Amino acid sequence: MMVKASHILVPTEHKAKWIYKELKKGRDFEKLAKEYSECPSRMKGGNLGFFERGQMTKEFEDVAFSLKEGEISKPVKTEFGYHIIKLLEKKK
């Protein structure tokens, strides 16, 4: 299975929680990614494209592969910082 996801990467849990609250209020994921994410994917609204298991960190993948299409995760901690993940699509 492959998933297509976007994410917002920030260095602190506090910032990640704030962004998550903003998303829950209806703020646009792509706009927040462009404004706050520290990943180069921010230029594409956080879009990482399709990936399989084994291409990302385990913590990131475990959450990304468990989401439903359109669902946004709570902040996820990895060695790179805190991610908020939005699942865009799943395919086999």
The two tokens of residue 30 are 């792509």
Q: What is the pLDDT of residue 20?
A: 99
Q: What is the pLDDT of residue 76?
A: 98
Would you list the domain boundaries of the chain? 2-91
Q: What is the pLDDT of residue 15?
A: 99
Which band of pLDDT confidence, cut at 50, 70 and 90, is reported for residue 26?
Answer: very high
Q: Where on the phi/psi map is residue 46: left (φ > 0), alpha (ψ -120 to 50), or beta?
A: left
User: Alpha-carbon distance 79 to 26, whole Å?
Assistant: 28
Q: What is the pLDDT of residue 11?
A: 98
- Rg of the chain taking only CA atoms, in angstroms: 12
User: What's the Cα-to-Cα distance from 21 to each of 24, 55, 60, 70, 83, rounded to whole Å?
Assistant: 5, 28, 20, 17, 14
Contact by Cβ (8 Å): 13, 75? yes
Instruction: Name which CATH class applies to 2-91.
Output: alpha beta
Prediction pTM value: 0.96
